[in-house]
Amino acid sequence: MLRKEWPLILNTLLAQAAAGIFLFLAVNHLFIVNGVQHAAALQIYQAGLVLVGPIIALAMLLSLFHLGKPFRAYRAMTNLPSSWLSWEIFFSSGFFVLWLACFWLDQSGISNPYLIGLTGLAGIFNVISMANIYTTTGRPGWAGIGTYISFLGSMFIFGSAGAALLLAQDAGMNPSALALASKQSWLVLFILVVELVLLYRSLSRLKASLQETSMDQLVSSSEMDEEELRKYGTISICGWTLSLAGVGLLVYIVGIFPAPNILLLFAVLFILCGEFLGRSAFFSLGMGKQ
């Protein structure tokens, strides 16, 4: 299953992680303006900034493994007028370049809010472009708002987890940052609930389509049988449950900071496994019978 798609699974997750972590840390940094706490938020932002670039670079590198001709990859940005894949490559490259600029300026002690904002936007547009690649294929498992919620949801989930991890390193326990992290975690929890509703709708729609027996069904590239739908649907739900457990744990951890590191480790592990399972099921449900 998904022998050819594993680079895409990792590429999408890592790119969303990079965008999410940058977004959450940038928000903390730009919106916590109280003197001492601002300095602490800046420290957390700087620590996280080091992670973001390598993560997005790794995401882009992994995507090359999906190509049959990776040395021709430079051509993949040539159809910007119509191809969302070209836009995704544009925004991911742009996000990396802008991150580099933020990182370099930060090393010189300069923090430009406009540049940080632009970088955050590039990350978000990268995630939206990714979602557009799949929704515009028209495949029943991918079409609709569910894909956007899933991709943006992953971005927020990883961002929340990344921010919490970095906060946990802050011995000073910045109250404003903690309050913001708490709000962010609750927001992510809400997104997960919305994700479940949309996942249920998508799976129901797919199940209903299996009842049709027509020539259209026979020739459709997203043909699937009941057993496969049951299998990937179960994997989706398991993935969602693990992510929910991870985010739920995060909400609890942020509420009781300082928390034992083992709890944070479990939260991150649940999230990583949950998101990986969910994304694998996403690709399987869209690709149909392999």
Partner 1 sequence: MKKKRLGMLIDLKRCIGCHTCAVACKAHNNLPNEIWWNQILTYGGKSMDTPKGTYPNLEMQFLPLACQHCEKPACVKACPTGASYQRADGTVLMDYDICVGCSLCIMACPYKNVRQYNEKTPQYVLDFPVGNSNVNEQQKGTVSKCVFCYNLLDQGESPACVDLCPGKARFFGDLADKDSEVYKLLEKRKSMQLLTERGTKPSVYFLI
Quote the least distance from Cβ 59 to partner 1, whole Å. 15
Q: How far apart are CA 144 and CA 155, in angstroms?
A: 18
Q: Please enumerate in sequence order all residues whose Cβ is within 8 A of that of 222, keeping only pairs 6 or more positions apart, or say none.
A: 139, 140, 141, 286, 287, 288
Give the shortest CB-151-to-partner 1 separation in angstroms. 16
Smaller CB separation from partner 1, 136 or 176: 136
Considering beta carbons, is residue 68 or 109 the nearer one to partner 1?
Answer: 68
Q: Is 144 left (phi over 0), alpha (psi -120 to 50) or beta?
A: left
Q: Closest separation between CB of residue 179 and partner 1, Å?
A: 43
225's torsion region: left (phi>0), alpha (psi -120 to 50) or beta?
A: beta
Report the nearest approach of partner 1 to the CB of residue 245 (Å).
31
Rounded to a whole number of angstroms, the minimum distance from the CB of residue 134 to partner 1 is 8
Backbone angles phi, psi at 137, to 5 degrees: -75, -20
Measured CA to CA, the distance from residue 269 to residue 278 in angstroms comes to 14
Judged by CB, which is closer to partner 1: 247, or 281?
A: 281
Query: Is the distance from CB of 22 to CB of 6 less than 8 angstroms?
Result: no
Integer Rg of the chain from CA: 20
Nearest to 284 by CA among 21, 1, 60: 1
- Token pair 């991918």: residue: 142
- Residue among 24 and 142 whose Cβ is closer to partner 1: 142
Please report, as a single letter, which amino acid is at residue 228. E
Q: Which is nearer to partner 1, 46 or 83 (CB)?
A: 83
95: exposed, middle or buried (C-beta count within 10 Å: 0-12, 13-18, 19+)?
buried
Distance CA 97, CA 91 (A): 10
Choice between 72 and 262, CB closer to partner 1 = 72
Q: Which is nearer to partner 1, 113 or 138 (CB)?
A: 138
Q: What token pair was written down for 266?
A: 């479990």
Whole-number minimum distance, CB 285 to partner 1, in Å? 13
- The number of residues in the chain equals 290
- We find the least distance from the C-beta atom of residue 214 to partner 1, in angstroms, to be 8
Nearest-angstrom CA–CA distance, 170 and 109: 20
Least spacing, CB of residue 84 vs partner 1, in Å:
7
Footprint of partner 1 on this chain (CB under 8 A)? 4, 66-70, 72-73, 75-79, 82-86, 89, 133-134, 136-139, 215-216, 218-221, 223, 286-288
DSSP state of 75: G
Tell me whether residue 12 or residue 160 sits nearer to partner 1 (CB atom). Answer: 12
CB 250 within 8 A of CB 161: yes
